[in-house]
Chains A and B, each alone.
Chain A
Amino acid sequence: EDQVTQSPEALRLQEGESSSLNCSYTVSGLRGLFWYRQDPGKGPEFLFTLYSAGEEKEKERLKATLTKKESFLHITAPKPEDSATYLCAVGADKLIFGTGTRLQVFP
């Protein structure tokens, strides 16, 4: 059975303090690893899709990387507006989500 584990559950950062979020996965065959951002009471907002080990994608202060067992979401010099829950998912049509990392960035 496909599984996704995210860590840490919560992360508090000072503005400008870079860090990484982890997503470990177990799948029978990786068909895609997805990162979403979710604000309270809102729908998940698509960030990245990664398909193969070694792949990297960037968007503003975010960079996602993928290995055969895990993915990292690196946040460089975060700002308060980056505060949200970041969700990782694997699959194709049926996405299996992790429970997310709740990020808070303080000025």
Chain B
Amino acid sequence: DSGVTQTPKHLITATGQRVTLRCSPRSGDLSVYWYQQSLDQGLQFLIQYYNGEERAKGNILERFSAQQFPDLHSELNLSSLELGDSALYFCASSPQLARSGNTIYFGEGSWLTVV
């Protein structure tokens, strides 16, 4: 158990809909990351927040957005869903920003299926 908690574990929704994925980082971790893993793309970095502020952005679609709240939990919002958005979405956390010894721990993921 990495200590990173994600909900829901599984989600099935229709095209055009909007969903919210939630992540609670490990106790004390200030950085939260979101990754997407699909069969044909592998693990892709989406976005990072540090202590409530957006820190880095990857190939995140404009239909997707995220935020980190004062209690450090984070939410990833996916809207106008398309079939191709079906994937495993991982949240990860680390204590601080990049430096030696900064290990990034992953949650168990949220399976999103768009039908």
In the complex, A24 Cα to B106 Cα: how many Å? 23
Quick check: which of A58-66, A68-76, A95-103 contacts chain B, the rest being far away? A95-103
| CB of B19 closer than 8 Å to a CB of A | no
Q: Which residues of A contact B94 (CB under 8 A)?
A: 93
| CB of B64 closer than 8 Å to a CB of A | no
Quick check: A43 and B109 within 8 Å, CB to CB?
A: yes
Residues of chain A from 63 to 95 with CB closer than 8 A to chain B in the complex: 87, 89, 91-95
**Nearest chain A CB to B32 CB, angstrom units:** 11
Residues of chain A from 4 to 63 with CB closer than 8 A to chain B in the complex: 31-32, 34, 36, 41-46, 49, 51
Q: Which residues of A contact B45 (CB under 8 A)?
A: 94-96
A43-B107 contact given A93-B33, A93-B48, A93-B56, CB 8 Å threshold = yes
In the complex, A89 Cα to B103 Cα: how many Å? 12
Interface size bracket, A side: 20 to 34
Residue of B nearest to A4 (CB): B42
**Nearest chain A CB to B66 CB, angstrom units:** 14
In the complex, A42 Cα to B94 Cα: how many Å? 19
Q: Which residues of A contact B44 (CB under 8 A)?
A: 97
Quick check: A97 and B42 within 8 Å, CB to CB?
A: yes
Q: Which residues of B contact A96 (CB under 8 A)?
A: 45
Q: Which residues of B contact A43 (CB under 8 A)?
A: 2, 4, 90, 106-109
The 24 sampled A-B contact pairs (Cβ below 8 Å) are: A32-B98, A32-B102, A34-B103, A36-B106, A41-B111, A44-B43, A44-B90, A44-B106, A45-B2, A46-B104, A46-B105, A49-B103, A89-B43, A92-B99, A93-B48, A93-B94, A93-B104, A94-B56, A94-B58, A95-B104, A96-B45, A97-B42, A97-B43, A99-B42
